[in-house]
């Protein structure tokens, strides 16, 4: 029998590693997160979490995003990723209903689909939330009630009226407020301005002029508190109108320090990016997704198998005392 050379043995070994049982070259794991919009500080931070998880797990993981919050742009990105045959797609949907057909197409192509801020998405393998929705809404009400003395008018800002999670938080906020603080009330219906500093600033100026009883603003969307805070600063109204919401601490720091934003009640989007990527890796490896599962730096999860929901609770309160020490 002819003795094989070391080079031949190494080549055979490498080939066996690359070839799967079906005879095709094994595909590199590629996990792609799709933000609502590219370039926004909130999603820049989320992308950092995605890339950090990829490095920790030894897989290719990165983030892409549309140039606006127009849902068809997210559809086009997903279509391109399906054609590219990536392993997994995670996404923060701009419109859950518009995206549903392309999610089905991705799943049919064998791609894992994960969502963030979109509980109940029919075609997602899992929806992953960094905070407990009901507790998060209650936390926001309690902080606003302290500032308002438990009475007076408020308004809720959301990213859009089609973002599932923002509107769920708004629903839960109103429900908790009515049950615990009946002397508080909405001065108007929720406003879809919280992904735009200019829109939230302009809306805040208009509402302060139209509603003398406006005492509180809560923004589910990271640009909302910035715009609202700027409007409050312009009108020197920080003692009368109290702004709360989700934010990137560094972006809000000057307004937090001046008191024009009362407090950030938020979470670290980097944790969401990390968790989405880590869960995608687990699903691709066939690992069990169950309560008690721990994601490094995020914590232990509560898992609802029926609702395909993975939930943590990492609320971050951003104040004058801690804003400079946060990420």
The number of beta carbons lying within 10 Å of the beta carbon of residue 104 is: 13
Question: Which CATH fold would you assign to the domain 27-131+269-313?
Answer: Rossmann fold (3.40.50)
Instruction: Answer whether residue 24 shows pLDDT above 90.
Output: no
Burial 218-247 (b: 16+ CB within 10 A, else e): bbbbbbbbbbbbbbbbeeebbeebbbbbbb
pLDDT-based confidence at 327, cuts 50/70/90?
confident
pLDDT-based confidence at 15, cuts 50/70/90?
very low
Over range 175-192, report the average pLDDT: 98
Q: What percent of the chain has pLDDT over 90?
A: 88
- 133-266 CATH pick, 3.90.1150.10, 3.40.50.720, 3.40.50.2300, 3.30.1370.30: 3.40.50.2300
Query: Sign (positive/negative) of CA torsion 183, 148, 162, 313?
Result: negative
Query: Taking the domains of the chain in order of start, what are their residue ranges?
Result: 27-131+269-313, 133-266
CATH topology identical between 27-131+269-313 and 133-266: yes
pLDDT at position 171 is 98
The crossing angle, in degrees rounded to 10, of helices 249-258 and 224-234 is 20
pLDDT at position 10 is 47
Instruction: Answer whether residue 16 shows pLDDT above 80.
Output: no
pLDDT at position 314 is 86
The pTM assigned to this predicted structure is: 0.82
């Amino acid at each position: 029998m002819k003795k094989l050379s070391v080079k031949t043995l190494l080549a055979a070994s490498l080939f066996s590693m690359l070839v799967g049982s079906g005879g095709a070259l094994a595909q590199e794991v590629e996990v792609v997160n799709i933000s609502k919009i590219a370039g926004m500080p909130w999603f820049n931070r989320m992308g950092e979490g995605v890339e950090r998880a990829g490095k920790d797990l030894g897989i290719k993981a990165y983030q892409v995003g549309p140039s606006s919050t127009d849902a068809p742009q997210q559809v086009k990105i997903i279509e391109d990723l399906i054609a590219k045959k990536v392993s997994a797609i995670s996404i923060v949907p701009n419109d859950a209903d518009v995206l549903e057909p392309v999610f089905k197409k991705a799943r049919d192509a064998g791609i894992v689909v994960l969502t963030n801020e979109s509980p109940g998405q029919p075609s997602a393998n899992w929806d992953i939330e960094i905070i407990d929705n009901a507790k998060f809404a209650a936390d926001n009400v309690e902080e606003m009630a302290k500032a308002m003395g438990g009475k007076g008018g408020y308004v809720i800002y959301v990213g859009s009226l089609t973002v599932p999670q923002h509107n769920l938080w708004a629903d839960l906020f109103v429900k908790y407020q009515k049950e615990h603080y009946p002397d508080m009330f909405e001065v108007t219906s929720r406003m879809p301005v919280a992904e735009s500093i200019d829109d939230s600033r302009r809306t805040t100026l208009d509402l302060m002029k139209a509603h003398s009883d406006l005492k509180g603003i809560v923004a589910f969307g990271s640009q909302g508190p910035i715009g609202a805070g700027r409007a409050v600063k312009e009108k020197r109204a920080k003692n009368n109108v109290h702004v709360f919401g989700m934010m990137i601490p560094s972006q809000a720091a000057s307004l937090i320090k001046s008191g024009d934003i009362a407090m950030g009640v938020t979470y670290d989007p980097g944790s969401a990016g990390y968790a989405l990527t880590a869960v995608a890796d687990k699903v691709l490896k066939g690992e069990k997704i169950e309560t008690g599962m721990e994601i490094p730096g995020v914590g232990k999860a509560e898992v609802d198998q029926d609702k395909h929901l993975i939930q943590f609770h990492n609320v971050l309160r951003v104040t004058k005392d801690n804003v400079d020490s946060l990420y």
